[in-house]
Structures are given as structure tokens and as C-alpha cells.
Chains A and B, each alone.
Chain A
Amino acid sequence: MNPPDRRDPADDMELMAYVDGTLPPEDMARVEARLARDPEARDSVAQWRHFDNLLHESARSADTLPPNLKIAALERQLAARLERRRMRAFLLGPRLRQLAASVAIFAAGWGAHAFYGTGSSMMAELPPGFVGPTLAGHYAYVHAAHQRAEFGGDQMTEALAWLSNEMQQRIESPRLERLGYEIDSARLVVVDNEPYAIFYYRNAEDERVTVSMTPRRATQPDYVFRVARFEDDRMAYWSGDQLNYTVVASGGADTLTSLAAAVQE
């Protein structure tokens, strides 16, 4: 018969793992053999397990507490924040966020609905974080291939004339200057044979706004004005008589509505 172990059970990680159910199966028989011959270890294990059971049962009584509406509301808020956080990490790093927001919408030809509207399936299994910036870079590359012309902020008169001619539509300036923005550049992008006049603005706080106009085809539905949210940005889109419009900016719905109103006027 083997003598009882003289080790202090409290220092024995194997015994703790046995109590907590984390002991590898291959070690189980050896530890149980030890318990059979070591009354001190056996007693320690029994007591730890008993205390653990008492605390566990005590904790489980929380499950019988009445639902807490405030907790439920906070839980929903947190879920929404974490979803956004996951989407942000998936899509892009902070430096590329603005770029991808506009590029993904305008260049990939998907449109905001196609890209974000199926978010639930996308988020069910997100790729690792390093995929997002690569994706944004890819779209920037694709975007560049679709770009037909670019005009500086000081060439707006020529730009509007040229864009109107190319798009066979009268293209007017979005006129965001009255809201404190300055035009950075204007571009013509063609995706799937559809031309998009895109205007980039920014204000003194370096808040950036992107406006696009594309001809509205007779077969397309009439989109009523709508503001949708993506991360910290929002986008407004709607159909005019001749053109479909999109505005992307940071800020609240009020900001987007003001910007859209200025574009539409």
C-alpha cells in the first residue's frame, strides 16, 4: 500500500483542476488513485467542491430574479454598439473609413442597400480585421479605374459644364458653400456604364461630405428621401426628377437633411 502524499493539497493544481472539471482525461485515473489513498487530499477536494456548489447555487438564484427593463434596454444599446464596432473593424481602419464609405457606395456599383442591407449575413461570420483595409484598398483601386476625369476646387465652372455634357443632364453645383463647406474636387466616375458626378467637400473643421448625382432611368423606382446610418457617418439618398442623389457625411440626421436640402435646391 502506498503511503499518503505529503504534499499540501492547497498547492496542488492537479487537485484543483480535478475539482473544477478541467483535469485532462489521461490524468484522471492517477488523481483518483491518489484520492483513494490520501484522506487529506480527499477531504480538501470534498470541501472545495462543497463550497463551490454552495456558491454556484447561490449565483444561479439570479436566474429567478424578475426581468430588469433597464438592463434589457442597456443590453440592446450595447449590442448595437458592438455590432457597429465589429463592422468597423471588419471594414477598415480609421484612416480608410471615409474612403471606403464613399468608394464602396459609388465605385463597386453595389449601392448602399446591397452592401449594408445584408449586414446580418455578413456579420454572422466576419473575416479577420486585416481583410477590411485590404478590401477598402481594393475598392480604391477599382474606383480609380472607373474615374474618367477629376477637377480641382477652382475649376468648378469648367467641371459643371463638362459633367453636364458627358452626362447629357444639366449638372448643378451642390452649393454646400452656404453651409460653410468648400469644394475639394469634382469627378466623373463610370460604373456599369452609369456616370456618377461626385463632389467632395470639407469645412473648416475638416468634416467631409461627398455628394453624388447619377441619371435616373425610367425603369428605376422613385426613391423617397431617406437617411441611413453607417458607423459614425450617415447617408441620405433620394430620387429627383432627372437624377438620383446621395450625400454621405458625418453628423446626425439633421445635418444630412440640411445638406440634402442644399443639394436639392
Chain B
Amino acid sequence: MTLKSELHSHVGSLRRYALVLTRDPVAADDLVQETLVKAIAKADTFQPGTDLRPWLFRILHNTHVSDLRRARTRNDAAADLPEPLARECQHTQLELKQVLGALDQLPEAQRLPIILIALREMSYTEAARTLDVPLGTFMSRLARGRAALRGIVQGMGSGKLSLLKRKGEES
């Protein structure tokens, strides 16, 4: 794979990650643009021979965290939630909103590992490198985050929704 095609693939991944982080297509593209501008400025710090993807994701991650700190409050973009590709229905949308709402209640340290792994584009090691934490710390945060997410969603009544969904899928 040439560097150009590799980079193009990574930019697609960045857009996916940014979309889940921001919940808004315009804000996601802004975040990706900002990331690429920073990456261009930092190109000389990239170590050839190392994996480009964690390097890019780390820049996006740091940019996002900085933006959040600047904004202080997260935009309430629930109305602009991206719609799932498969089986679009009100039920899935509602579930997604609940999961994203639950994610928002998690600390950043637990939220980001869950999102990174859900993208299914990185190994645990790469994701840990992206967040600049040791692998053990990453795994621990992922595990605690998933447990907490489950608890929050169950508290929201998502269990019922899941049951309904499964019934709907079977029919």
C-alpha cells in the first residue's frame, strides 16, 4: 500500500472517530481538518517505519481534548446524531442515543478506549499508544468503562429496549 492510499484510509478512520466524538458531521470534519493541519506542522516528528495510524489518532485525540477544555461544555448535539447505516429505525436510534448519553457520563479516560475499540481498526496496543497510556492501564480503563456503561444503560432501561430489539429482529 502506498503512503497516499494508506493515509487516505486513515483519514476515513479519523472521520469515523471524530463523528462519534463530536456527534456532529460538521464538527467532525472541522476536527479532522484541525488534526491534519497539526499533522502537517508536525510531520517532521513522525518516525518513519512506525505506524502512522496511532500517530494521527493521537493528534486527533489531543486536539479533541483541547477543544473540549476550551469549550468547557459539550455541545448538546443529540439532535444531530449520525444515523446508523443498518436497520435504521427509531428503536436503534433511541438505543444509540442512550448509549451515547451513557458514554457522556463516563470520564474521558474510560470513554475514549470504548470508542477506539468500537471502531475496530486498532489493536489494544495501538489504541493504548494512541491515548499515550500503558497497555495495562488501557485494558483496565476499557474494562471499567464497559462495566460502567452497562450499569448506566441498564439504569436507563435499555435492557427492555434490547429485549424489544431482539424480538423485532427475530420476527
Contact = CB atoms under 8 A, between A and B. Distances in A.
Interface string B83-116: 1111000001001100110000000000000110
Given A71-B29, A79-B4, A85-B43, A55 B115 contact: yes
A123 interface: yes
A75 B6 CA distance: 11
Contact of B123 (A22, A62, A70): A22
B84 A81 contact: no
B32 A71 contact: yes
B96 A85 contact: no
Contacts of B100: 58
The range of chain A's interface size is 35 or more
B119 A59 contact: yes
A227 to B, nearest CB: 22
Given A55-B20, A57-B85, A59-B16, A13 B143 contact: yes
A105 B81 CA distance: 56
Given A52-B118, A54-B96, A71-B33, A86 B82 contact: no
A90 interface: yes
Contact of B33 (A13, A65, A70, A128): A70
Contact of B82 (A11, A16, A61, A68): A61
Interface string A230-251: 0000000000000000000000
A65 B48 contact: no
A10 B17 CA distance: 24
A84 B100 CA distance: 40
B51 interface: no
B124 A22 contact: yes
B48 A62 contact: no
A50 B162 contact: yes
B8 A61 contact: no
Contact of B7 (A11, A56, A58, A75): A75
Contact of A60 (B16, B150, B162): B16
A118 to B, nearest CB: 15
Interface string B15-36: 1111110000100110011001
B43 A20 contact: no
Nearest to A120: B2
Contact of B12 (A12, A63, A128): A63
A10 B146 CA distance: 7
Contacts of A264: none
B7 A79 contact: yes
A8 to B, nearest CB: 8
A83 interface: yes
15 contacts: A10-B144, A16-B143, A16-B146, A47-B153, A51-B149, A59-B118, A59-B119, A62-B25, A71-B29, A74-B33, A77-B36, A79-B4, A81-B40, A82-B3, A126-B48
Given A51-B99, A61-B83, A75-B11, 14 more contacts: A11-B143, A16-B139, A16-B143, A47-B162, A52-B114, A55-B114, A56-B119, A58-B84, A59-B115, A62-B12, A62-B28, A71-B11, A71-B36, A81-B40
